[in-house]
């Protein structure tokens, strides 16, 4: 394939090739390119000039025949589509007899005319020879008349890509398809941004709704992990606090059960030791169990008035403690509340930081006890001789 032939085919691929006028302009641009190349090489052989022009005209006829055959194939394809969809016939199309083929619309029957080839042009004294441009391409080949500057081209004359075998797509301008792709990309980007900003907004709302931000500003650790808006009607804040969530402060509703100043009310069994201390967190009673069973228990008195407030309701006990030494201690806490009975055994890990370990107790009995009870603490649950500092015990009556 010669350089001019390749250039013509490339120009047709980029142009609205179904338009005969456009094709004619491309062919004329090829003729102009040939003449320009001959003049540039300063070839003056008239026979060679005529031979080069004849070869170009033969190439143009060959390409034009292919284009006309392509248009006929498109017309046949449209006819098949119309035959298969008789209910959607165009008003401009008419059905003949069963033996006659379906008539085609005027737009299909009017095939592109043959380009007007100037065969009467006589050889001139212009240079003749083989055209060897940069790569044989038509650098000035475009869909315009030879005397029209490219800057004056109308938008409608911009080339469009033709999809093989699809007439509708072949007639769709490239700028329309580009606009569709840009619109699709825009919606995808919008979706990504909406999801991203929604996630950020949800995180800020969660921090605000749980009270985490307010707690951080106050230097407190008291906040709800679940926002109130998401809590069910059966959600019980006191029940949540009865787990391992520490409290950093107590309201006036809390009743003091034990104070380190009342160290005389603490009783140590055979294999346990008690003492007193004072540090930056205040006064405390030290408890060191030497055995993980009853011999290592320490008993703390609970007044009868406190037990009477526990009758027929759920209440909360808070033990304010920290580990004695530089390692955590494994402890258990249980109750001996006279007529009310026990509260089961509860295990806690006490760290070197002062924390409030919460214990939820429920007593359904309606008989008020007349005698006090005991809170039992053992600090050597893992048998490693752990010890703790007890800063106090408080009680919150339930409902």
Residue 324: how many CB atoms within 10 A of its CB? Answer: 21
Number of domains in the chain: 3
How far is it, in rounded angstroms, from Cα 399 to Cα 239? 12
Q: Is the pTM of this model over 0.85?
A: no
User: 320: exposed, middle or buried (C-beta count within 10 Å: 0-12, 13-18, 19+)?
Assistant: buried
Q: Residue 223 in 3-state DSSP?
A: coil
Residue 298: how many CB atoms within 10 A of its CB? Answer: 23
Residues 230 and 250 occupy one common structural domain: no
* Strongest mean pLDDT among 91-95, 261-265, 294-298: 294-298
Alpha helices per DSSP H over the chain: 3-14, 20-41, 46-84, 106-109, 167-170, 174-209, 212-218, 237-241, 304-309
Answer whether residue 40 shows pLDDT above 80. yes
* Residue for token pair 């007639």: 171
How far is it, in rounded angstroms, from Cα 396 to Cα 7? 93
Answer whether residue 142 shows pLDDT above 70. no
Pairing of strands 387-396, 346-350: unpaired
Q: Which of 168, 188, 212 is the last residue before a domain boundary?
A: 168
Residue pLDDT, tens place only, 224-279: 666 665 654 444 444 444 333 444 456 678 888 899 988 888 998 989 999 999 99
Angle at 270 between CA 264 and CA 276, to 5 degrees: 35
* CA 171 to centroid of chain Cα atoms: 38
pLDDT for residue 71: 92
* CA 232 to centroid of chain Cα atoms: 29
Under the phi-then-psi rule, with left for phi > 0, alpha for psi from -120 to 50, and beta for the rest, what region is 234?
Answer: alpha
Answer whether residue 65 shows pLDDT above 90. yes
- The CA-atom distances, in angstroms, between 26 and each of 12, 17, 23, 87, 175 are 8, 10, 5, 40, 21
Instruction: Assess contact for 369 and 280: CB atoms under 8 A.
Output: no
The fraction of the chain above a pLDDT of 90, given in percent, is 26
Q: Give me the sign of the Cα torsion angle 376, 377, 380, 385.
A: negative
Residue pLDDT, tens place only, 146-201: 443 443 334 444 444 444 445 555 555 566 666 777 777 888 888 999 999 999 98
Give the chain's radius of gyration (CA, Å).
49
Residue 144, φ and ψ in degrees, nearest 5: -155, 165
Mean pLDDT across the chain, nearest whole number? Answer: 74
Residues 157 and 183 occupy one common structural domain: no
How far is it, in rounded angstroms, from Cα 132 to Cα 130? 6
Look at 205-214, 297-306, 307-316 and tell me which has the smallest mean pLDDT: 205-214
How far is it, in rounded angstroms, from Cα 275 to Cα 175? 89
Pairing of strands 387-396, 355-363: unpaired
Answer whether residue 101 shows pLDDT above 80. no
Residues 17 and 155 occupy one common structural domain: yes
End-to-end CA distance of the chain: 98
How far is it, in rounded angstroms, from Cα 358 to Cα 241? 7
Residues 157 and 261 occupy one common structural domain: no
Pairing of strands 266-268, 387-396: unpaired
Both tokens of 310, joined, read: 């526990």
Residues 148 and 51 occupy one common structural domain: yes
Residues 201 and 147 occupy one common structural domain: no
The domain spanning residue 348 has which CATH number?
A: 2.60.120.260
Q: Which residue range(s) make up the domain with 85?
A: 3-168
* Residue for token pair 């009743």: 255
Residues 307 and 200 occupy one common structural domain: no
Residues 231 and 323 occupy one common structural domain: no
Q: Residue 247 in 3-state DSSP?
A: coil
Q: Residue 113 in 3-state DSSP?
A: coil
Residues 192 and 111 occupy one common structural domain: no
pLDDT for residue 59: 93
Residues 214 and 244 occupy one common structural domain: no
Residue pLDDT, tens place only, 338-395: 777 888 889 999 999 999 999 888 877 777 778 888 999 999 888 888 899 999 999 8
Going by pLDDT thresholds of 50, 70 and 90, the confidence category of residue 2 is: confident
Residues 266 and 348 occupy one common structural domain: yes
Q: Which of 168, 189, 212 is the last residue before a domain boundary?
A: 168
Residues 150 and 282 occupy one common structural domain: no
Q: Which of 168, 192, 217 is the last residue before a domain boundary?
A: 168
How far is it, in rounded angstroms, from Cα 321 to Cα 35? 103
């Amino acid at each position: 394939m010669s350089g001019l032939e390749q250039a013509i085919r490339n120009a047709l691929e980029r142009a609205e090739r179904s338009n005969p006028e456009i094709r004619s302009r491309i062919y004329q641009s090829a003729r102009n390119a040939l003449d320009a190349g001959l003049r540039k090489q300063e070839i003056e052989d008239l026979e060679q000039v005529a031979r080069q022009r004849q070869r170009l005209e033969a190439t143009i006829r060959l390409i034009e025949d292919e284009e006309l055959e392509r248009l006929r194939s498109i017309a046949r394809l449209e006819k098949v589509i119309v035959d298969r969809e008789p209910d959607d016939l165009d008003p401009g199309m008419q059905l003949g007899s069963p033996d006659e083929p379906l008539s085609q619309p005027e737009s299909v029957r009017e095939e592109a005319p043959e380009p007007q080839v100037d065969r009467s042009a006589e050889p001139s004294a212009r240079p003749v020879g083989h055209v060897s441009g940069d790569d044989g391409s038509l650098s000035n080949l475009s869909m315009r008349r030879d005397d029209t500057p490219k800057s004056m081209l109308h938008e409608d004359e911009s080339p469009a890509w033709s999809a093989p075998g699809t007439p509708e797509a072949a007639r769709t301008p490239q700028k329309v398809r580009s606009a569709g792709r840009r619109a699709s990309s825009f919606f995808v980007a919008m979706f990504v941004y909406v999801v991203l900003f929604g996630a950020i907004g949800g995180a800020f709302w969660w921090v605000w709704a749980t009270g985490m931000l307010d707690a951080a500003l106050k230097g407190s650790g008291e906040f709800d992990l679940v926002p109130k808006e998401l809590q069910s009607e059966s959600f019980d804040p006191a029940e949540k606090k009865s787990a391992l969530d520490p409290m950093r402060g107590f309201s006036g509703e809390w009743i003091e059960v034990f104070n380190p100043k009342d160290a005389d009310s603490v009783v140590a069994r055979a294999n346990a030791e008690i003492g007193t201390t004072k540090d930056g967190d205040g006064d405390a009673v030290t408890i060191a169990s030497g055995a993980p069973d009853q011999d290592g228990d320490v008993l703390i008195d609970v007044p009868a008035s406190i037990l009477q407030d526990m009758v027929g309701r759920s209440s909360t006990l808070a033990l304010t403690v920290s580990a004695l030494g530089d390692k955590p201690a494994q402890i258990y806490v249980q109750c001996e509340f006279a007529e009310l009975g026990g509260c089961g055994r509860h295990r806690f890990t006490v760290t070197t930081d002062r924390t409030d370990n919460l214990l939820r107790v429920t007593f359904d009995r309606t008989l008020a006890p007349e005698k006090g009870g005991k809170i039992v603490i053992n600090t050597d649950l893992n048998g490693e001789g752990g010890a703790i500092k007890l800063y106090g015990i408080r009680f919150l009556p339930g409902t």
